[in-house]
A and B are shown apart, each in its own frame.
Chain A
Amino acid sequence: MDESFHEFEAELKSLRLRRPSAGLKEHIARALAAGDTAGPVRRYSSATNLGGWKWHGWQLAGLAAVVALIAAAGWRNLSRRDTATPAPAPASSNAFAVAPVPAPVPSASPARLPGVAATNVLYDMKDEGPVYLDGDRAARRVRYRFLDTYTLRNPRTNASLKWSVPRDEIRVLPASLN
């Protein structure tokens, strides 16, 4: 290196770097004290931050849809029962009359929503660094983030419901850290 640069390098080194804000230190202290293994508490929301308001919004919307569907199905059942009161059977003169065969029970009641599809999409994978199992076995902790989507459909009414739930899966994979 050019000797003439030494003085200039020394001048650069003498500059005092901007210090992190007190807020940053507080956030770190809080996160470390909490011992939260899910990662630091971010001060911003992002697409991969499942704790964000929008995910709560989706969860609430899903819950509201399920409640509404159950309520609608219940109301339909109730109204059918009220209108379809069975007529009294005529008195039979034949003592040996065969007992009436009960009407076939529909295979799917209006309220029933069997699952017809389930998918999951891996949208994020993050290596969270090395961990040690039993004190000495090296491994890496990897977080996989999925969006699981279940589709439920009533075959009679063709009404369907899609339910998407975010899911985190943490895998500890054996690894050599050498």
Chain B
Amino acid sequence: MEEAHAPGSWSTWFEAHGPRLLLWARQWTRSLADAEDVVQEAFIRYWRHQRELPGDPQALLVTSIRRAAIDLARRDARRARREERFGRDEDAPFFEPVPGDNAARRQEIEAALRRLPSEQREVLVLKIWHELTFEQIADQLGIPLNTAASRYRYALMALRKELNSLCHG
């Protein structure tokens, strides 16, 4: 993530890290469009004001995205009503197909992931796709380190159990 400190390289940096930022934003937003708005707001704020700060840019952005998403959710209650009427794009997939992958398996994983309790899913997303340590995750979410580790373990167990039941059921 150090390349984020290089001036003028936002496009390359965003190309590499945008997908995981978007996935994180989607844990907190009702639709893909909202998630992109939140990523946009957090990324611009980061790039203008925070990129010279010491520390892990990803951790800064994770915090920033979470706050922006919560702000958006609070102030946009009206949007929720509108989306109820006109439908949402929250079913837009988290993952993209890769040539030769098992599409059914990918969809099952995603479905199981969506069914996880949100507090487990957010820890899983930060650990697997943001590659944060449990210490960083605990710090980000304001929870004890052991809680972060146990939520991660429960999330993996729940996912695997559900996928196994699908395979054998």
Set of chain A residues within 8 Å of B14, measured between Cβ atoms: 20, 25, 28
Interface of B with A (CB < 8 Å)? 10-11, 14, 18-23, 33-34, 36-37, 39-41, 43-45, 47-50, 52-53, 72, 75-76, 79, 92-98, 106, 109, 124, 128-129, 153, 156, 159-160
**A177-B129 in contact (CB<8A):** no
A48–B76 Cα distance when bound, in Å, is 10
Chain A: residues with Cβ within 8 Å of the partner, total of: 39
Set of chain A residues within 8 Å of B49, measured between Cβ atoms: 128-131, 141
A91–B92 Cα distance when bound, in Å, is 95
**A29-B153 contact, Cβ under 8 Å, with A13-B129, A20-B18:** no
One of A8, A23, A27 near B156 (C-beta < 8 A)? A8
Residue A53 interfacial (CB < 8 Å): no
**B22-A17 in contact (CB<8A):** yes
Which of A28, A44, A48 is packed against the most chain B CB atoms within 10 Å? A28
**A16-B96 in contact (CB<8A):** yes
**A42-B19 in contact (CB<8A):** no
Interface of A with B (CB < 8 Å)? 1-2, 5, 8-9, 11-13, 15-21, 23-25, 27-29, 31-32, 37, 39-40, 42-44, 46-48, 128-132, 141, 177
A48–B10 Cα distance when bound, in Å, is 28
Given contacts A17-B95, A44-B79, A177-B53, 14 further A-B contacts (CB under 8 A): A9-B128, A12-B159, A18-B92, A19-B96, A20-B22, A28-B10, A29-B11, A37-B48, A40-B40, A44-B37, A46-B72, A47-B75, A128-B45, A130-B53
One of A2, A24, A132 near B36 (C-beta < 8 A)? A24
Set of chain B residues within 8 Å of A28, measured between Cβ atoms: 10, 14, 40, 43-44
Closest 6 CB pairs of A and B: A17-B19, A129-B49, A40-B44, A20-B18, A24-B36, A15-B95
